[in-house]
Amino acid sequence: MNICITGAGGQLGQSFKSLTGAYPQWQFHFADRSIADLSDLSTVDQWLEASQPDVLINCAAYTNVNQAEEDEALARQINVDAVEHLARYCSRKAIPLFHYSSDYVYHTERGIPFRETDATAPKGVYAVTKLEGERAALAAHAGTTVIRTSWVYASMGHNFVRTMLRLGSERDELKVVSDQIGTPTYAPDLAAASLQMLQAWRQGTVSGEDMAGIFNFSNEGVCSWYDFALAIFELSGLECTVHAVESHEFPSPVERPHYSVLNKTRIKKTFQLEIPYWREALGRCLAAIGQ
């Protein structure tokens, strides 16, 4: 089975690369922006024609939440138009498409973990385009699997964990918001769950119909960004005092959700997944970094 993965240079794409050895029966084909640029669909089509996927996994996205407000055209091109293009390709070929979305699409004051069927209320260009992208993909191809996730990080790339480690080594104290509540997601755990989903489908324990649609995924547990920062310093052994502050102390062109915990019942029951607790996942990430 040929599995083709876009966005290979990002955190999630690189996490898939790290797991290929566990699936020697499958052939993986990775494309970063230099090979398949979602802002230039001709390059995507050329790569797909050469790779002939049996499954397409889209890890590419426009993820700069603040910059998207000034670069809406490009954000829409990558998060909506290109995603629909990939879905149409998968529909013509009758192959599964995996696509990743965001907890930002919910953004309501529900106050309890969000289910996939709960109302959405995206705020800002990034959130709006992520929701439009998943809707476009689902409309274009019934075999689309959308996975909404949150607070993604890895041992590589630009993310909260690496930023805290850098700042913690440079400063004696930091301010971190404590009024945004969610759950971190370790990118290798998200990639591993995705491959387990595909394996269940391939083995026939889950049908293509059951695999399609929207699923929530994050690590288990709940924390604030403040709690997350404290855990990073505790587990890494860095000495840095963290002060809890409110979001208004960090003005932003985009309002972040104050509560975006994801209910993962559907994905766990459908695929019999055991999802690691966020602190345990953080420990593995720090070990991979060398902390």
pLDDT tens per residue across span 87-104: 999 999 999 999 999 999
Q: Is the pLDDT of residue 111 over 90?
A: no
Letter for the amino acid at 28?
Answer: F
Mean pLDDT for the stretch of residues 271-283? 98
Radius of gyration of the chain (CA): 19
d(CA 35, CA 269): 37
Quickly name the fold that domain 2-154+185-219+262-276 has: Rossmann fold (3.40.50)
Which pLDDT band, with edges at 50, 70 and 90, does 230 fall under? very high
- DSSP assignment of 272-283: T--PPBHHHHHH
pTM of the model: 0.97
Active-site residue flag, 259: no
Q: Is the pLDDT of residue 221 over 90?
A: yes
Q: Enumerate the H helices of 124-224 as residue ranges.
A: 125-140, 160-170, 187-203, 208-211
User: What pLDDT sits at residue 226?
Assistant: 98
Token couple for 206: 């889950």
- Which of 62, 104, 126, 186 is the catalytic position? 126
Q: Is the pLDDT of residue 71 over 90?
A: yes
Helix-helix angle 41-51:82-93, to 10 degrees:
30
Which residue, chain included where needed, has tokens 């972040």? 256
Which pLDDT band, with edges at 50, 70 and 90, does 110 fall under? confident
Letter for the amino acid at 181?
Answer: I
pLDDT per position as a tens digit, 172-201 = 999 999 999 999 999 999 999 999 999 999
User: What pLDDT sits at residue 216?
Assistant: 98
More confident residue, 96 or 291: 96
Share of the chain above pLDDT 70, in %: 100
Measure the N-to-C terminal CA separation of the chain; round to a whole number of Å: 37
User: What pLDDT sits at residue 109?
Assistant: 82
Burial of 175 (0-12, 13-18, 19+ CB in 10 A): middle
d(CA 64, CA 278): 23
Question: Alpha-carbon torsion 9, 133, 66, 279, what sign?
Answer: negative
Instruction: Report the candidate in 145, 133, 52, 38 with the shortest Cα–Cα distance to residue 92.
Output: 52
Burial of 170 (0-12, 13-18, 19+ CB in 10 A): exposed
User: What pLDDT sits at residue 108?
Assistant: 84
